[in-house]
Structure 1
Amino acid sequence: MAKANWREIGVGLVLPLALIALWQVAANLGWVNQNVLPSPLEVVRKWIAYLLPLQERLPETSWWRWALSGELIVDSLGSMYRVLVGFAVGAGLALPLGLAMGANKHVYAWCNPLVQLLRPIPPIAYIPLSILWFGLGNPPAVFLIALGAFFPVLMNTIAGVRQVDSIYLRAARNLGANRRTMFMRVILPAAVPYILTGMRIGIGTAFIVVIVSEMIAVNSGLGFRILEAREYFWSAKIIAGMITIGLWGLAIDLAMNRLNNHLLRWHRGLES
């Protein structure tokens, strides 16, 4: 199994490494403007410089000054804090509402028109209102991220509950299960794959929204640093920030995939 995993990783690295090599060759031959698209080596150099300690950027009274002095580390932690808090708020509100709408036709009839009205509105459209309501800083960013994570979790939860196989429901009724037992032992476990898929989509959406929100309403984080680099035409730093976002997103997606596989062992077993 371990050899298969390493082989899969190796195959997945072939295309990215080939593209990086082509990019470096194009930069060395002068096919691209280094100011517009710096070489991979220049991006790596800037990424390392971005990671180095810059204690003078932090207030004297900040405890982070001694614990976390790297600009990249501080920015990454700021962005991750907003993503996790916003995702927790959005998913925490969407999950019970989705379960209620999926399990109860009356709740669905009452809430679905409003949900379908609000769902197409992108979180970015709420930026002016979020600043008016919450000011600047973390609150508007968390609000926008929560909106971005809310609807994927909600819609997948509703779909998961409403698409439970009727055979399971009839079997539970024949065995004398009451409504609470049927919901906890049949409907909820059957909906878990959908719920986890919604959470995986929601955390990806949260990453998109946090970068936009940091460019508008926050003066820290990876999105803010990319916008700052754009103002000074630091192309290498922009790409370094983008790569950092991609690495964080990859790490979280792998963690979510591991969690899915762990929680759905029974489901995988039935399929095999």
Structure 2
Amino acid sequence: MLHLIRRGERLVVPFLLIIGWEIFSRSGLLPAALLPAPSIVLHSWADWAFAIDGSSQTYSGHWLSDALASCLRVLTGYAIATASGVLLGIAIGWWRWVERTIEPTVQMIRPIPPVSWIPLAIIWFGIADKPAIFLVFLGAFFPILLNTIHGVKTSDRNLIRAAAMMGATEQQMLRQVIFPAALPSIMAGLRIGIGSAWMLTVTAEMVAVKSGIGYVLWDSYYFLRYDLVLAAMVSIGLLGYGTDLLLKLLMQSTLRWQRGQTVQGR
């Protein structure tokens, strides 16, 4: 019973927000077209997903294909960012010559907003999936890279000395000591990166792609369908929450050894 109550606590704030939103939308303080009530948004969302009455017009019944298109772009760009960010982060954090050679360039590129790359991405890759994947990569790469560097540099030196005394090679040191020690920081970077990945794929779909949830959001804005705009926003939030939850579960199963070292709130 207590377990169910604790799970229900997560629904309290969303429930209150929805009730408050419904009351405010129906109060007449704003035109209903500018801020559709949640009930209207839910109806449009249902038609977008299941084609119940055609109220979402050309998007009726297409939610699943739009969501899959966005997910594919996110996962592709995110996978590339994860592989390159972790490998480069370990190299920068472990070898001083790599840090001196590469990190200044990385730190110079990092402050450039990913959205400012959109014109070049379109020129380089055209109007297709590739510019969206490129922007997702940029958004996820730097959080993963910096957290990996931090994890490597803050690894327990006593563990490194112990492994060296036991005759571990550099490859064994990196694989069996440094990577596991840096894993909590890497996982934190992965969770930050997935949020950035969703933000960037939606931005790219608004400009450089003709499919996906971001495209539906932007196209609906042009036709003053703010119910679909809000449905798209909620869809992005739920998909982002779902992918973050999967990462959190992966983190819990991977870092079981760390559970005894963390403080659990009541």
TM-score, with length taken from structure 2 = 0.92
Q: 1:4 to 1:123 in 2, by over 3 A?
A: farther
Give CA deviations for 1:185-206 in whole Å, capped at 9, x if unaligned: 2111100111111111111100
Structure 1 vs Structure 2 CA RMSD: 1.8
User: What is the aligned partner in structure 2 of residue 66 from structure 1?
Assistant: none
Deviates more, 1:81-90 or 1:166-175: 166-175
Runs of 4+ in 1 over 6 A off after TM superposition: none
Q: 1:138 to 1:11 in 2, by over 3 A?
A: same
Number of corresponding residues: 259
Which of 45, 60, 75 is the aligned partner of 1:47? 45
Shift of 1:169: 1.5
Which of 113, 131, 155 is the aligned partner of 1:164? 155
User: What is the aligned partner in structure 2 of residue 130 from structure 1?
Assistant: 121
For residues 221 and 47 of structure 1, the distance between their equivalents in structure 2, rounded to whole angstroms, comes to 15
Letter of the 1:21 partner, please give it: I
User: What is the aligned partner in structure 2 of residue 74 from structure 1?
Assistant: 65
Letter of the 2:226 partner, please give it: S
For residues 2 and 171 of structure 2, the distance between their equivalents in structure 1, rounded to whole angstroms, comes to 43
User: What is the aligned partner in structure 1 of residue 30 from structure 2?
Assistant: 32
Q: Secondary structure at the match of 2:35?
A: coil
Letter of the 1:30 partner, please give it: G
Give CA deviations for 1:92-146 in whole Å, capped at 9, x if unaligned: 2112111111110111110011000001111101000001111111011111111
Which of 14, 17, 32 is the aligned partner of 2:15? 17
Q: Secondary structure at the match of 2:14?
A: helix
For residues 195 and 261 of structure 2, the distance between their equivalents in structure 1, rounded to whole angstroms, comes to 28
Q: Percent identity?
A: 39
TM-score, with length taken from structure 1 = 0.90
For residues 271 and 31 of structure 1, the distance between their equivalents in structure 2, rounded to whole angstroms, comes to 47
Contact 2:151 2:186 in 1 (8 A): yes
Shift of 1:15: 1.7
Q: Which runs of 5+ in 1 are unaligned?
A: 59-68
Does residue 224 of structure 1 match 2:215? yes
For residues 169 and 252 of structure 1, the distance between their equivalents in structure 2, rounded to whole angstroms, comes to 34
For residues 262 and 223 of structure 2, the distance between their equivalents in structure 1, rounded to whole angstroms, comes to 54
Q: Which runs of 5+ in 2 are unaligned?
A: none
User: What is the aligned partner in structure 1 of residue 106 from structure 2?
Assistant: 115
